[in-house]
Structure 1
Amino acid sequence: MKHARAAYQGVTQRAVEHDGRLLLDDGRLVGEDAVTWLPPLAPTPRPRTILALGLNYADHAKELEFKAPDEPLVFIKGEGTLTGHRQLTRRPADVQFMHYECELTVVIGKTAKKVKRDDAYNFIAGYTIANDYAIRDYLENWYRPNLRVKNRDTCTPLGPWLVDAVDIADPMALALQTTVNGNVTQSGNTRDMIFDVPFLIEYFSSFMTLQPGDLILTGTPDGVVDCQPGDVVVTSIEGLGALINTIE
């Protein structure tokens, strides 16, 4: 099932996809363009922790002229970075290079501590798409991105759907694509991750407790380009839909 969260006539509601429309909690069926889309955190709780991977695709590391990491390169994001499908993300006026990052995002479904790789999928509620924008101008070190690179308000559109884990047969074989103003600028597949989803859940839960609703953003393949105000960026992942965002 595809879950969403949206504001309709001033009221925030959970919703599910129904024949190309949204079936709201109150029973009304509305068009996808009739609502304000919010990050699809329902039916899970809000995230206590948002973990994001850097350089998790070897081709992206090569693109940036970096050696692929020997262990996960991870940073933590705040919930204020999240925004919804069809929303705006601001590009500061003085920056020279701001790029998208199409990322498979794992939503934790139950408390996970010291989880073994073979059991990792049992702790996942579902999957969604993140577009985790980065501003190269603010970057001090790829191995330690500062707050302005990855923790700005609205810098991470999330959605449009939270798709139940049971509906994704193999999250490690999903095609990814990004378009800017209708032109394909990025193509990849989750099978090319350096550290796959089961590894990451085992790795994180070995030293910290993951809680329901926590998010793991798993990194992006190569093909990132600079985005300008007015650009419409669509990040899509097979089985999860297409997340639309506009730069302002």
Structure 2
Amino acid sequence: MTTTEYRRILLDGAVVEVVRDGDELIAADGRRVKTSDAHHLPPVVPSKVIAVHLNHRSRVEEFQTSLPSAPTYFHKPTSALNAHGGAIVRPDGCNYLNYEGEIAIVIGRTCRNIAPADAGAYIRGYTLANDYGLHDFRDTDAGSMLRVKGSDTLCPLGPGLVEGWDFRGKTLRTYVNGEVVQDGSTDEMEWDMHYLVADIARTITLYPGDVLLSGTPAGSRPVQPGDVVEVEAEGLGRLTNRIVTGPVPVRDDCGAQPTESEEVLSTALGGDWEFRGIRAPRRD
């Protein structure tokens, strides 16, 4: 199957959609820029980003739990959007920022009340995502995941949107500073891309550009400022971001504060962390 990759970049001060041709990006007016030189933007502008909780069997086994009878979801606000090459901000005073490499589904047509067998016709294409989680707030936001998964910069997408890509049988890997830390496959997903779209569209209208995150395999762990995190899948390229520290601490004159409870540690460090002698990450 032939695929086409589109990217959104800032080109001479304007937001431009370009097509990738090897190591070059081509605008409709003929301008060309090297992929390595481009200022990338998120490849789509969604009205909403919806993410599934557990979906990969390796992740379920890691936490020694079981899947529910149907998928459950949370919402990431669009203010969390980020792009290939963007900085991921870990707020000062927080210590448990975890990567989660994922494949993102991008809607192409308004979608409501469809069968799973028909969902493919409503999908424009796919991109890579890193569903970062700020687990310092897990004790207070475990239900909504609002600050855990929705804080600013924690939803990078990219580098491009690929049309014509078949999600079946594809590897999905995450790297930290060049080392493989997650190694999964779309074949270990309990619910495939078409099922997830149809499930959400039963009660929530999906519009062109909307994004669904399809879940992460085992191996999510905290990263530190200075780390370079990359997500890669066959045919979708590699999404690269660097972790930085926020310039000011989280305000302490309102709201719940970052914690380091058993719930925070067990989620950030893996379900069986206490049985493997894993130490909490260093403080910066």
TM normalised by structure 2 equals: 0.81
Determine the C-alpha separation between the residues in 1 that align with 2:140 and 2:62: 16
Give the match for residue 30 of structure 1.
33
Bigger Cα displacement from structure 2, 201-210 vs 179-188? 201-210
Unaligned residue ranges in structure 2 (runs of 5+): 245-284
Tell me the CA shift for residue 96 of structure 1: 2.5
Tell me the CA shift for residue 145 of structure 1: 4.0
Residue of structure 1 aligned with 2:231, choices 221, 228, 235: 235
Partner SS for 2:139: coil
Give the match for residue 15 of structure 2.
12
Provide, for residues 82-131 of structure 1, a one-character-per-residue CA deviation record: whole Å limited to 9, x for no partner.
11101101112222221111111101111111111111111110000011
Tell me the CA shift for residue 80 of structure 1: 1.2
Determine the C-alpha separation between the residues in 1 that align with 2:117 and 2:145: 34
Bigger Cα displacement from structure 2, 99-108 vs 141-150? 141-150
Bigger Cα displacement from structure 2, 138-147 vs 155-164? 138-147
Report the residue type matching 1:90 in the other structure: V
Report the residue type matching 1:181 in the other structure: N
Matched-pair contact (CA < 8 Å) for 1:88–1:247: yes
TM normalised by structure 1 equals: 0.92
Determine the C-alpha separation between the residues in 2 that align with 1:109 and 1:216: 12
Determine the C-alpha separation between the residues in 2 that align with 1:90 and 1:64: 27
Give the match for residue 276 of structure 2.
none
Determine the C-alpha separation between the residues in 2 that align with 1:150 and 1:227: 15
Matched-pair contact (CA < 8 Å) for 1:73–1:143: no
Tell me the CA shift for residue 64 of structure 1: 3.1
Partner SS for 2:91: coil
Provide, for residues 178-221 of structure 1, a one-character-per-residue CA deviation record: whole Å limited to 9, x for no partner.
11001111100011112111211221122222111111101100
Give the match for residue 152 of structure 1.
151
Tell me the CA shift for residue 140 of structure 1: 2.7
Give the match for residue 192 of structure 1.
188
Determine the C-alpha separation between the residues in 2 that align with 1:236 and 1:219: 14
Same amino acid, percent of matched pairs: 37
Matched-pair contact (CA < 8 Å) for 1:177–1:186: yes
Residue of structure 1 aligned with 2:213, choices 208, 214, 217: 217
Tell me the CA shift for residue 67 of structure 1: 2.8
Partner SS for 2:92: coil
Matched-pair contact (CA < 8 Å) for 1:139–1:145: no
Change (3 A) 1:91 1:73: same
Report the residue type matching 1:153 in the other structure: D
Q: CA RMSD in A?
A: 1.6
4+ long deviations beyond 4 Å: none
Bigger-Rg structure (1/2):
2
Determine the C-alpha separation between the residues in 2 that align with 1:225 and 1:162: 27
Determine the C-alpha separation between the residues in 1 that align with 2:51 and 2:75: 6
